[in-house]
Chains A and B, each alone.
Chain A
Amino acid sequence: MKIAVCVKHAVDESELKLDPTGKPLLAGAAGKMSAFDKNAVEEGLRLKSKHQGEVTVFMVGGPESKKTLKEALAMGADKGALIQADALTVDSFRTAEMLAAAIRKSGPFDVVMCSEGSSDTYSGQVPPMLAEFLGLPYVGYARKIEVSGQTARIERSLEDSIETVEAPVPFAVSVVSEINEPRYPTLIQIMQASKKPVEELNGEELSPRGDYKQVVVASMSSQPSTRKRVILEGSPDEAAAKLVEALVKEGVLK
């Protein structure tokens, strides 16, 4: 089974600093593998161990994002493809287009796996767009995947329901984080990851922009918090009484 897993080197929102005017300092901001992408890599690896095969990791990003690709390789992926582009200025559509071109180039794959969305912007657009560009049947928000022969049976987790669907192989899928518990690469795997093959591709050459007009970010600013941040002190009884009093005053306690 040939499995393609797409990952993103996302801005680490917990380390993101804002300048005095509230603008995020994105240039040089710390990045990491988007949290839910680890679930996608993990699921790819589980399918691989069950069905024999190979996991290739695809990523659109700049040079700084190599460490994310390496992390996926350390987890156990066999090889990687880095599609060079400035991940901060391309939108979901372009990202999906470039991923599709790279996947087509080194395919065909039986499964194209993504996570439901990236931890930094959480748009959740790349996986369905990617499926469209590849012309593959698509199943979003999978919490369980079972492939047997040429059919996959997948449980989808929607807001208020669980849907069980059947898709033909090959297919594209996005997974939710409840699907598995991603493994940590061991230290030895980390050291060996550098020896695994990584192909570097130029995004614009691979997939020219054409006449597509993309989504642009006009400006960014901090989301001001207006919380009161009052610490209620005293013994548990005193603090609890103070809390009840405050909540009644706020009119939120009936």
Chain B
Amino acid sequence: MAIYSAERRRLMEMLHPGRHQVFSEVLSSLGAFMEKEILPLSPKLDAGEASIAKPRKALFEQGMTAIPFPVQYGGLGLPFSVYAMAVEMLGNADASVALSVEIHNAVAEGLLRYGSDGQRKKHLAAVISGKTLASFGLTEPASGSDSSTMATTAEKKGGEYVINGSKMFITNAGEASLYMVFAKTAKGPSCFLVEAPNPGLKFGKDLKKLGMRGSKTSEVIFDGCRVPEGSLVGQEGEGGEYAKEILHGARIVVAALNVGISQIAYDKSIAYAKSRKAFGKPISEFQLIREKIADMKTGIDAGRLMYLYAARIKEMGGDYTSEASQAKVYATEMSLKACDEAIQIHGGYGYTTDDLHRHWRDARLLTIGEGTSEVLRMLISRKELSRAQ
């Protein structure tokens, strides 16, 4: 089945009447590319037998990262929902690559929203085209979504800022040449751009992860890391707000990524259930298996509609913070369940086949990363209670 499936195409048609044709051409070409160049590599990326660098570079060259950005910076100027769909498809092809690309693009989004003209000129086109690989550092060994407890500091000395501290669980760490990081100045959490190499920029060893093994994750250490004054993004003390905004958009994309992971686990389960026989008939004939299939599919469809809804609000200029968080909470939890059921349907093969249980392992990250389900529920409820006033 084509990655840009009839189902996905139909949603694009419904979402963008009159304009869907060119969106579909873009997505279907991208899907064909992923099918041939990313999907077959996926088990090897998981097993550490292939490097992410090559397929990611090829995706950049295709222009995947350019999808939602303005034409003047080398973007394609397409709606955010088209980009989110592309990430869903990439999650279908390989979750690690999708994660790496998603983080990279969050930096581009941050640069576009908060960067100065000079910073945009210097970095944005390079990030959008993928010539520069970017990484995003907010979380710390002892501080997560709550940016006020951040321990990394940036001290202004002469014409420079000196950054000290460290960032934890950083995707693309060590590979990226541009880091968007958050550190406290006298005025509070602030956002900086750090270019690698820099003598004060160091990396911890690669973290051994449960899933998402194709992507690189490690600690990023700032040891008297000096950056020019012009590396400050926006205003001092505003970094916490910027990070929140950037993450709102990223949550839509993370939801999409998880829908993609669920879809491939589901497709494999359907094929298996139809071919595996027990008691003289395919196991797909059994009601208990059918219940799983029905629930998996319902969850996937709901997750997909939720992230597309949030994306559509975003591209129409509305407040999508609650919807983005809802989509992420729902889609990530749904995908864990779906990938778990996929293992159950596959029985012993599910538990012993890397190519199947890796979907569960990959999905497992994202009820944690980029806002835990717990924090997001807090955010959703706060938002909805305030809306109700």
Contacts and interface: CB of A to CB of B under 8 A. Distances in A.
Contact of A186 (B2, B25, B61): B61
A252 interface: no
B333 to A, nearest CB: 32
Most chain A CB inside 10 Å of its own CB: which residue of B22, B26, B67? B26
Nearest to B32: A184
B63 interface: yes
Query: By DSSP majority rule, is chain A's interface helix, strand, loop, or mixed?
Result: helix
B62 interface: yes
Nearest to B33: A184
A190 B29 contact: yes
Contact of A191 (B2, B33, B62, B76): B76
Contacts of B22: 190-191, 194
Interface string B1-17: 01000000000000000
Given A191-B76, A194-B22, A185 B66 contact: no
Contacts of A190: 22, 25-26, 29
Interface string B53-73: 000000001111011000000
A67 B32 CA distance: 14
A185 B61 CA distance: 10
A143 interface: no
A71 B222 CA distance: 48
B30 interface: yes
Interface in A91-107: none
Contacts of B33: 184
Interface in A135-152: none
Contacts, number: 34
A188 interface: yes
A186 B30 CA distance: 8
Nearest to B30: A187
Contacts of A70: 25
Contacts of B61: 186
A245 to B, nearest CB: 22
B62 A184 contact: yes
Nearest to B82: A187
B63 A188 contact: yes
A188 B76 contact: yes
Nearest to B67: A187
A148 to B, nearest CB: 31
Nearest to B29: A190
Contacts of B62: 184, 186-187
A70 B26 CA distance: 12
A185 B29 contact: yes
Nearest to A184: B33
B299 to A, nearest CB: 26
Contacts of A188: 63, 66, 76
Interface string A185-209: 1111011001000000000000000
A113 interface: no
A74 interface: yes
B163 to A, nearest CB: 36
B104 to A, nearest CB: 16
Nearest to B277: A231
A194 B66 CA distance: 19
Interface in A21-41: none
Nearest to A74: B29
Contacts of B67: 187
Nearest to B58: A184
A253 to B, nearest CB: 27
A107 to B, nearest CB: 30
Contacts of A67: 25
Contact of B66 (A71, A74, A184, A187): A187
B13 to A, nearest CB: 15
Most chain B CB inside 10 Å of its own CB: which residue of A74, A185, A190? A190
Interface string A58-93: 000000000100110010000000000000000000
B32 to A, nearest CB: 8
B164 to A, nearest CB: 41
Nearest to A185: B29
A187 B128 CA distance: 13
Contacts of A71: 29
B67 to A, nearest CB: 7
A16 to B, nearest CB: 13
Contacts of A194: 22
Nearest to B36: A184
Most chain B CB inside 10 Å of its own CB: which residue of A15, A187, A191, A194? A187
Most chain B CB inside 10 Å of its own CB: which residue of A71, A74, A186? A186
A185 B32 CA distance: 11
Contacts of A15: 2
Given A191-B22, A191-B25, A191-B76, 4 more contacts: A186-B62, A187-B66, A190-B26, A191-B26
Interface of A: 15, 67, 70-71, 74, 184-188, 190-191, 194
15 contacts: A70-B25, A71-B29, A184-B33, A184-B62, A185-B29, A186-B61, A187-B29, A187-B30, A187-B63, A187-B67, A188-B63, A188-B66, A190-B25, A191-B22, A194-B22
